[in-house]
Amino acid sequence: MISDKVKLTAKDILEKEFKSGMRGYKQEDVDKFLDLIIKDYETFHQEIEELQQENLRLKKQVDGANKRPIAQPQQTGTTNFDILKRLSNLEKHVFGNKLYD
């Protein structure tokens, strides 16, 4: 899972304290940047959760589809001879004996 590989959480970032130095960064700028990172982490976490749920749903759907028997086409017993015979009878009916004159 992804959560096993991620070292920081949004809460870790929010609670991180930095020591200030003589010529350090503006604390306000650091806080704004960290706020953006926290929002991204929360968005990524939510997206990952949704994708994991969808992945599970699709795996179940595929497993269900694999378990259903595949519909085999029904054999009607019709051969080419039967089709030609029916076609001949249809021609006789439509055109009558004119075909054979």
Task: Tell me if 39 is assigned to some domain.
Answer: yes
Angle at 99 between CA 93 and CA 101, to 5 degrees: 125
Task: Tell me if 61 is assigned to some domain.
Answer: yes
Q: Whole-angstrom Cα distance, residue 68 to residue 75?
A: 21
Tally of domains in the chain: 1
pLDDT of residue 79: 84
Task: Tell me if 78 is assigned to some domain.
Answer: no
pLDDT of residue 98: 65
Task: Tell me if 65 is assigned to some domain.
Answer: yes
Task: Tell me if 63 is assigned to some domain.
Answer: yes
Task: Tell me if 37 is assigned to some domain.
Answer: yes
| Domain range for 9 | 1-70
What φ, ψ does residue 72 adopt, rounded to 5°? Answer: -95, 140
Q: What is the pLDDT along the chain (101 residues), one digit of tens a residue?
A: 556 677 788 888 888 887 777 778 888 888 888 888 888 888 998 999 999 999 999 999 988 888 877 766 666 677 888 888 888 888 888 877 665 55
- What's the whole-model pTM score? 0.50
Question: For residue 65, what is the enclosing H or E element?
Answer: helix 27-67
Task: Tell me if 44 is assigned to some domain.
Answer: yes
